[in-house]
Structure 1
């Protein structure tokens, strides 16, 4: 079900990211979005999106009306699109996902899973890897780029492990990092793509360190459907 809507925020501090994050978590794939001033101290958020999975019009209205600080005043539903399949994920959808991740980090498991589910199966591994690299690189620049860059393996123990602990318990020995109860595959079987996000995250994080010339990450053990302990070897 594809729809377009407009919501007015009660304050200028409620911005685009405050609207798209709950929509993504509620099960919607965003097609486009923009923000403009309402002229009355708030913002007007325009969104075009489609539902993923079984959503009724009543569900849609409830989801839009429950966004904090927003009032729904325009909603148009494309009836012809209700039974159509979701399109291939685009760069704009990745930007939307990154914006949601930025707003809710490190509580991003549901956002990453939603992004994964919206992609054709043959594109998931590559797209999750690319997303992870951008997120990991961004976190290094935000939290660890000040001061003298650390070389490996020091940067793994002093920087990468603390960063990954935002998601779950982490153990590291030399160049091997293990995620205990990995949140990106805990409910998955062996066909999941979630750990490609972690591979990309580690690569992006370490590649942003100017003291590290090259980095390659391989998932040497995945716990999906069994131990839920995922092991990554850094080379």
Structure 2
């Protein structure tokens, strides 16, 4: 395994990290850290990745020839030792620090659905290490979550990603929406869940349901609904208004099963 740092210059910021991160993951590499900033050259994205040495030349070619990339540099990353350790904390867009995502106020160990009691246990230490990184990188967090999903045993994916989503959603609610008044469920979806989701994905409302066209968790080669993080985050966002037992989020359609878009419905 090798650790490599890529420096990319582009004229476009929106979607840059997601697009290039998908190339990184598709070629068998893991994104360890990233940083994006504006400069006189344009938008500069630095990525540290880890993966098989035999695939490095192919990855470099695909990144260097990507239509969003104006210039591209690659160099060996000296900060890593090649060990399969958890990614180090990241600073995003030059920010000096960011708040940790706190555990839910009610019952941290029981924040996920009750069905988790019979599922494989969540790797709590790994989750708690990841959450501060997500807080620092937010909203550029989907690549880290897709990489985590690929690494998790299938029996742990749904419970772990829903739990992380619930924690992130509760944190975003407290940070951005907690000072607002109490809203009916329909208005909470429109004024809280929708704008929060639009920081991450392409979301729209249709008949009181939320539709997402570009969930990065789809088409992973397995059957069934798979947007567990997004479902958990929607629950975390709405629980601040309606309580943990006051709203249920259901993914009624998923692109992973052939639907045009992923559809989330809300039940009080």
Q: TM-score, normalised by structure 2?
A: 0.55
Q: How does 1:41-80 map to 2 (within 5 A)?
A: 54=52, 64-65=77-78, 72=79, 75=81
Alignment match of 1:142 (pick from 172, 175, 193): 175
Does the residue aligned with 1:224 lie in a helix, a strand or coil?
Answer: helix
Q: Deviations over 1:173-214 (max 9, x none)?
A: 3531111222332x4344377401111111111112257861
How far, CA to CA, are the matches of 2:160 and 2:81 in structure 1? 31
Q: Deviations over 1:157-183 (max 9, x none)?
A: 111101111122212235311112223
Gaps of 5+ in 1: 2-21, 30-50, 66-71, 79-87
Alignment match of 1:163 (pick from 181, 184, 196): 196
Structure 1 position 105, deviation (Å):
1.3
Contact map agreement 1:101 1:108 (CA 8 A) in 2: yes
How far, CA to CA, are the matches of 1:221 and 1:193 in structure 2? 7
Gaps of 5+ in 2: 2-20, 33-49, 58-74, 85-120
* Mapped pair 1:205 → 2:237: yes
Alignment match of 1:132 (pick from 143, 155, 165): 165
Which structure has more RCO (C-alpha within 8 Å, separation ≥ 6)? 1
Q: TM-score, normalised by structure 1?
A: 0.62
Residues 76, 174 of structure 1: alpha-carbon distance in 2 compared, 3 angstrom cutoff: closer
* Greater strand content: 1
Give 1:214's aligned residue.
Answer: 246
Deviates more, 1:161-170 or 1:94-103: 94-103
Q: How does 1:154-193 map to 2 (within 5 A)?
A: 154-185=187-218, 187-191=219-223
* Mapped pair 1:106 → 2:106: no
CA-atom RMSD in angstroms: 3.6
Alignment match of 1:94 (pick from 127, 132, 146): 127
Alignment match of 2:256 (pick from 218, 221, 224): 224
- What is the total number of aligned residue pairs between the two structures? 176
Give 2:30's aligned residue.
Answer: 27
How far, CA to CA, are the matches of 1:190 and 1:76 in structure 2? 30
Runs of 4 or more above 6 Å deviation: none
Residues 224, 213 of structure 1: alpha-carbon distance in 2 compared, 3 angstrom cutoff: closer
Contact map agreement 1:182 1:228 (CA 8 A) in 2: no
Structure 1 position 100, deviation (Å):
2.1
Contact map agreement 1:128 1:194 (CA 8 A) in 2: no
Contact map agreement 1:181 1:229 (CA 8 A) in 2: yes
